[in-house]
Amino acid sequence: METLNIFSRNIKWRFQNPITIIMTIIQPLIWLLFYSNMAADISSSFILPGIIVLVMFSSAGNNGVANYYSKQNGSFYRIHISPVKKSSVVLGHVLDAEVFSFTEVLILILISFFMSVRISFSELFLMLPVIFATVFFISSFSYFLSLIIPSENIFYIFLNTFILPLFFMSTALFPYEKIPVQYKTAVNINPFTHVINSLRTIIMNQNNNYSEYLFSLMLMILLGVIMFIISVKKLKIYGKNL
C-alpha cells in the first residue's frame, strides 16, 4: 500500500511529462539506427542488446533526479518525517524506473522490428527477468547517489562520466573475441557485459548458453538487492548526521 502510493504518485508525474521518455530514448535510438546501418558486419540483432542496456542507463540512471526536485520543494522532507517505511519510499521510486525503462525497451524492440529483428514472445519472456533485475540495480544505485551527491549538476556529471565508459568497456558494440587482449579483463569485470551477452544469446537464438543467462540474472539480482539495502539504510539516516 505504501509502495503503491509512492509509485502511483511518481508514475502520474512521468506520464504527464512524456518528454522525459522521449528525451532519454533519443540517444540510444540514434545509436541503434546509425550503428546497425553503418557497420557492415554487424546486424541490428547484434547491436540491440547493447542499446537496451544503454536505454536502461538513461532511464533507470536518472531515477535519483526526482529526489533533487522533491528536496527543493519540500515534499522529500514531508515524506521523510511521515511514518511511511523507508524501504517503501525507495521501492516506489525503483518501480517507477521499471515502468519507465520497460516502456522505453518496448519502444526499442518495436522499432527494431522494422529493422528485421524478430523476437518471439518466449524470447521476450526470457529477457524480462534480466531487464527487471538490471533496472532494479541501476535505479537503486541512482537513488543512492542522489542521497550522497549534494547537487543535481554533480549528479549528472557523475552519470555522464561513468555511463559511456561502461557502455564502451563492454561487448555492446563488438563481440568479445574482437576486443583487444589488454581490455578483456576490464570488459569481463563490467557486470553489464554479462547482461548484454545474455540478452544477445536470447535475441540471436543462441540457445546454448544458459549458464551466461543465469549468471547475469543472479549477478544483477545480487547487486540490486545489495544496492537497494544500502539505499534504504542511507535514507534512514539521511539528514541525521549533517
Partner 1 sequence: MNAVFVKDLSKTYKNGKKALDNFSVSIKENDIFSLLGENGSGKSTLINILTTYLMPDCGEIEILGKNIIDYPHEIRKIISCVSQNVSIDLHLSLYENLIFQSRLYGIEKNKAVRKIQKLIEIFSLEEFTEKRVATYSGGIKRRLDIAMGMISEPKILFLDEPTVALDTESRKSVWQIIKNIKNEYGTTVFMTTHYLEEAEKLSDTICIMKDGKNIAYGTSEDLKKYLKQNLIKVTLKEKENIKKFLKIISSEKFIKNTETVKNTITMNVENSSENIFTVGNILSANNIKYNLLSVSEPTIEDVYLSLVGKGRR
148 binds partner 1 (CB under 8 A): no
Return the number of the residue (99 or 169) whose C-beta is nearest partner 1. Answer: 99
Return the number of the residue (150 or 165) whose C-beta is nearest partner 1. Answer: 150
Among residues 65, 58, 130, 54, the alpha carbon closest in space to that of 100 is found at 58
**Residue numbers 9-48 binding partner 1 by CB under 8 A:** 9, 12-13, 16-17
Query: Could you identify the residue written with the cell 544483477?
Result: 220
Residue 80 CB, shortest distance to partner 1, in Å, is: 6
Residue 5 CB, shortest distance to partner 1, in Å, is: 4
**Residue numbers 210-239 binding partner 1 by CB under 8 A:** 239
Return the number of the residue (83 or 180) whose C-beta is nearest partner 1. Answer: 83
Phi and psi torsions of 155, nearest 5°: -60, -50
242 binds partner 1 (CB under 8 A): yes
Residue 89 CB contacts under 8 Å (≥ 6 apart), including other chains: 2, 6, 79, 80, 235
Residue 65 CB contacts under 8 Å (≥ 6 apart), including other chains: 142, 146, 152, 155
181 binds partner 1 (CB under 8 A): no
First to last CA, the chain: 31
The answer to whether residues 67 and 146 touch, using CB atoms and an 8 Å cutoff, is: yes
Return the number of the residue (82 or 153) whose C-beta is nearest partner 1. Answer: 82
The answer to whether residues 137 and 220 touch, using CB atoms and an 8 Å cutoff, is: yes
Q: Which of 73, 122, 185, 211 lies at the binding interface for partner 1 (CB under 8 A)? A: 73
Phi and psi torsions of 184, nearest 5°: -60, -40
Q: Which of 75, 103, 188, 209 lies at the binding interface for partner 1 (CB under 8 A)? A: 75
5 binds partner 1 (CB under 8 A): yes
Residue 103 CB, shortest distance to partner 1, in Å, is: 18
Amino acid (one-letter) located at 127: M
Among residues 122, 134, 129, 133, the alpha carbon closest in space to that of 50 is found at 134
> Using CB under 8 A as the criterion, which residues of the chain lie in contact with partner 1 when the complex forms?
1-2, 5, 9, 12-13, 16-17, 72-75, 77-84, 239-242
